[in-house]
Structure 1
Amino acid sequence: MRIIENADVAAALAYPALMAALRKMFTEGCNQPLRHHHALDPDNSQSGMLLLMPAWQADGYLGLKTLTVMPENSAKGLPSIQSVYLLFDRDSGTPLALMAAEELTSRRTAAASALAATYLARKSAEKMLMVGAGAMAPCLIRAHATGRRLTDIAIWNHNAEKAERLAATLKAEGLPVRAALDIEAAAGEADIISTATLSSAPLIRGDWLKPGAHLDLVGAFTPAMRESDDQAVLRASLFVDTRTGGLNEAGDIIQPLKAGLIDESDIRADLYDLCRGTHPGRTSEDEITLFKSTGAALEDLAAAILAFEANRA
């Protein structure tokens, strides 16, 4: 069994190749049961969570990702999310590789958002707002900048110094990045707004969104968490990575559903529909689009196969 470290995973998962692998997997499909969530202490949401995410092809590969989510880790100087991935041969059940899954998870998540944006953001989109400055933020910025000419990328974070540090790092890579102090002003200017936080209260208001904006919600992965308000959901055409995840895990979708503000039929399409061409995605320049990502085991499997086959030699 091969052990593949984060550096080798990262080297194998360049965004153009990864987006192509995700498009292929969403087009062809695979088996992926609903992920298992286990609160380590059900009475304390800050104590952490264990997630198990299996997926397998009819022929080919089987994979399982195990990850922990520890909200208080940032105060300890540790990542909030840590994970490993185990890849098997589907036919024999033979373990093929054990991978560090931090890079795998962050890159496949960012690639899924960038893939969705190829269908949902305006082709002329140039200005991006990144809400959050954690581990996902640089991945989302780099992924959205793949194949798209972004001329202005603003980063807002509740800790302004963290936003400044990340902006400086990405600017050194040649990206047009700056820190933003006023989230409302930055959101009002943005063509693409990407959020990656652990927020339980809305950060983006629908009244701030300009016509044609694309909202990419990546954080807030439980029904109790939320990054957008009701007005944003009501103004936007709604899309999800998977309907199962969106309807069972995404607070940005579940909360307005329970409040009777939207129906399940208001979800226009998921990434299966977009990649298979059964829904066109954006239909006008002024349409506001909202993509809610909860992550899917299918995405992990596609990324793990790409990483394994690149490192097999």
Structure 2
Amino acid sequence: MTSPLFLDAAQVAERLSLDVCTGLMREAMRALSGGEVEQALRSFLKLGEGRTFALMPAGFVPGGPFGAKLVSVFADPDHPGRRSHEGLVILFDGRSGAPVCVADGGEVTRIRTASASAAATDALASPDASRLAIFGTGVQAHTHALAIAHVRKLEQIIVWGRDRDLAGALAARLASELNIDAMAEPDPARAARADIISTVTASAEPVLKGKWVQPGTHVNLAGSSGPHAAEADSALVAAARFIADHRTHVLAHGGEFLRARQAGLIDDDHIVAEIGEVYAGTQAGRTGPEDITIYKSLGHAVQDLAAVAWLYNDMKARGQG
């Protein structure tokens, strides 16, 4: 058997641009909602306080590539309240069944998570949205801002974080890289006065409240990925048009949705669509200028596999596979 191609973090970052990946995420989620993907619920193995190992399998059917992401999510001992994602994405050939590529899962996750939010923002945010609020100061906060700047003409970015120094540093970095106005805002209620909000924190409790969010805002909830954490309160969930990345997963692991349902504010029908259905045009996303839209992102193996399959094919086309 030929050894699989291995792509380290630097190779993933060099080849997989945010623009390319945003298109890949749009198509991958359309395929998932369209029944072209077999995907099992992710499984979690608790390894102690702040330490989780997860398995995420999926495959394109019939006859397409398949595989899994193996990922560890560990609390960062040097930055309380932050988490590190490390792992591998393993791609198998759909015809031979052989493993053909192994890629750095942390870097794939960094790029595909932000790209998926950018694709959803492009579909759900107001066309003239120009003010972005980022709740969080880590890797995903930075990459989300870069990705969303590709799909909307941003005039201002506001950064909120529990660590004011980190929020200020991120705002300064974004101002330099994107050449637009970026500022840190210590008051989360003021930060939420935006056209687009992306929450990318490790918080188990809500950092974003419904009473702060103005009509017409689009919200990406992308930080929490398990049933016991929620970045937004139940009032916001109840007030919004709620679009899931994948209905089955949100009903099992979407912490914000599950809390609102437990509080009796919503039922399962509150999920108005999957984002792939919106991309396919079979379900509506935004229905009017006053809608508050939520895209709940849990992240899926199909996204990782779509990204790594593209990387693998790109490397082969370049004669580097």
Contact 2:89–2:305 at 8 Å: present in 1 too? no
2:219 aligns with: 215
Is the aligned partner of 1:185 residue 2:190? yes
5+ residue gaps in structure 2? none
Q: What do the CA deviations read for 1:125-172 (whole angstroms, capped 9, x no partner)?
A: 000100000111111111111131000001111001011111222222
Residue from 5, 9, 17 that aligns with 1:6: 9
Q: 1:98 to 1:153 in 2, by over 3 A?
A: same
Identity %: 34
Tell me how large the CA RMSD over aligned residues is.
1.5
5+ residue gaps in structure 1? none
Between the aligned partners of 2:178 and 2:99, the Cα distance in structure 1 is 40
Q: State the Cα distance separating 1:8 from its structure 2 match.
A: 1.5
Is the aligned partner of 1:55 residue 2:62? no
84-93 or 125-134: bigger deviation: 84-93
1:155 aligns with: 159
> What TM-score do you get using the length of structure 2 for normalisation?
0.92
Contact 1:74–1:80 at 8 Å: present in 2 too? no
Between the aligned partners of 2:150 and 2:179, the Cα distance in structure 1 is 11
Between the aligned partners of 1:73 and 1:65, the Cα distance in structure 2 is 24
**Local SS of the residue matching 2:177:** coil
Residue from 296, 299, 303 that aligns with 1:292: 296
Q: Which amino acid aligns with 1:173?
A: E
2:315 aligns with: 311
Between the aligned partners of 2:120 and 2:179, the Cα distance in structure 1 is 21
Which consecutive aligned stretches of 4+ in structure 1 deviate over 6 angstroms post-superposition?
none
Contact 1:22–1:302 at 8 Å: present in 2 too? yes
Q: State the Cα distance separating 1:12 from its structure 2 match.
A: 2.2
Contact 1:234–1:262 at 8 Å: present in 2 too? yes
Is the aligned partner of 1:15 residue 2:18? yes
Q: State the Cα distance separating 1:276 from its structure 2 match.
A: 1.4
Between the aligned partners of 1:81 and 1:94, the Cα distance in structure 2 is 26
Q: Which amino acid aligns with 2:187?
A: D
Q: Which amino acid aligns with 1:104?
A: V
Is the aligned partner of 1:30 residue 2:33? no
Between the aligned partners of 1:101 and 1:61, the Cα distance in structure 2 is 17
What is the aligned residue count? Answer: 307
Q: 1:60 to 1:195 in 2, by over 3 A?
A: same
**Local SS of the residue matching 1:99:** strand
Q: What do the CA deviations read for 1:196-227 (whole angstroms, capped 9, x no partner)?
A: 11111111111111110111100121111011
Q: Which amino acid aligns with 2:75?
A: P
Q: What do the CA deviations read for 1:268-306 (whole angstroms, capped 9, x no partner)?
A: 101221121111210101111111111111111111111
**Local SS of the residue matching 2:29:** helix
**Local SS of the residue matching 1:81:** strand
Q: How does 1:76-225 map to 2 (within 5 A)?
A: 80-176=84-180, 177-187=182-192, 189-225=193-229
Q: State the Cα distance separating 1:79 from its structure 2 match.
A: 5.9
Between the aligned partners of 2:255 and 2:83, the Cα distance in structure 1 is 23
Between the aligned partners of 1:265 and 1:73, the Cα distance in structure 2 is 40
Q: What do the CA deviations read for 1:30-49 (whole angstroms, capped 9, x no partner)?
A: 111111111113xx3x2x00
Q: What do the CA deviations read for 1:220-257 (whole angstroms, capped 9, x no partner)?
A: 21111011112111211111100122111111011111
Q: Which amino acid aligns with 2:37?
A: C
> What TM-score do you get using the length of structure 1 for normalisation?
0.94
